[in-house]
Homo-oligomer: A and B are copies of this chain.
Amino acid sequence: MGSRVTILDVASEAGVSRQTVTRAMNDMADISEATRKRVLEAAERLGYRPSRFARNLVNRQKTHALGLVVASFRNPYYTDIAADMLSGAAKRGWQVMIAAPDGELEDVLGVLSAQVDVLVGHFGGPEADLREAGRGLPVVNLELVSTLPGVHSVHVDLESGIVEAVGALRERGARRFGMVDSAYTQRFSRAYEPSPRREWFERAAGSQLTGVVVGEETISGGGQAFAELLRRHPDTDAVLMFNDLMALGAVQNAHALGIDVPGRVRIVGVDGLSLGEAVDPQLTTISLDRQGIASNTLDIAEILAKADFAPIAPIHRSVRTQMLWRGSA
């Protein structure tokens, strides 16, 4: 429980100076093989490990760290983005520190902001809190385009994707449109009521809208909401599910209820998860370019790094969607 073993301890143990220890530890030149070995042994003996803080304090600007807030680890959409972010960051020499908002958003951001240079992710709260919780850090919002200064964003143009999907469904004969929305979005006040997806869908469906049912953002929640929607509006022949996870439950539930998909009702998800290939029929979905989100985010992060993370004019990038016609629609 004694205090930490420092470079000086190793130096005196090996009978050399600090600098020589550094040379030995970092495989630098200007040191004899015998001395290097002696120092390394002393370090091993004492269990010496360089302080990452002191080290990074000296050569700052070297590596940058990005704090990623993952909305949920139970939805592959978010973990996919995290995966792309991670591999992309590694290629560009960035560190990624991940946090998941278990309780209060503030708690997560508080600890995270002390460790990183940029804050990135799906924060899922009123964005007024964002600037405050970030404590002066630049923020990249992956959820919606922000109007706050210092808050940048990468935005999925889902609206045109939904319009495209509804149009294509019409071409395939659909006339009565229903939707399952997420109950999750109701947790927040202004920013999310009603959900943008719902608004876009209702506008696209127009007079052909049958109804909207709200469900929990899980597989079973989607299945239940889907069944409820068909119970209330039996004439519905095309359903947009809030996301793929819920759509999986819909396909599954339709199968259990003996409802023909896409014969009687067409089902379309949102996200483009490869998981959609695991059900029968395979899930048709509006695919969101997760890799594009990640790379755009990292682009912004690098621009911010170039400006030494000083406040700059907000950057807003956008990625487009792509229809993935599989079996369910």
Binding site for B on A (CB under 8 A): 1-5, 43-44, 47-49, 51-57, 60-61, 63, 65, 73-74, 76, 79-80, 82-83, 86-87, 90-91, 95-100, 102-103, 107-108, 111, 114-116, 135-137, 219-220, 248-249, 252, 255-256, 274-275, 277-280, 306-311
Contacts and interface: CB of A to CB of B under 8 A. Distances in A.
6 contacts: A47-B309, A52-B114, A53-B54, A56-B114, A79-B79, A86-B99
Given A73-B86, A95-B115, A136 B49 contact: yes
Contact of A73 (B83, B97, B102): B83
Given A74-B83, A252-B278, A256-B280, 19 more contacts: A4-B308, A5-B310, A43-B136, A47-B309, A52-B114, A55-B114, A73-B80, A76-B76, A79-B79, A86-B98, A87-B100, A87-B102, A90-B102, A90-B103, A90-B107, A97-B97, A219-B274, A252-B280, A279-B279
B86 A79 contact: no
A200 B100 CA distance: 36
A44 B136 CA distance: 8
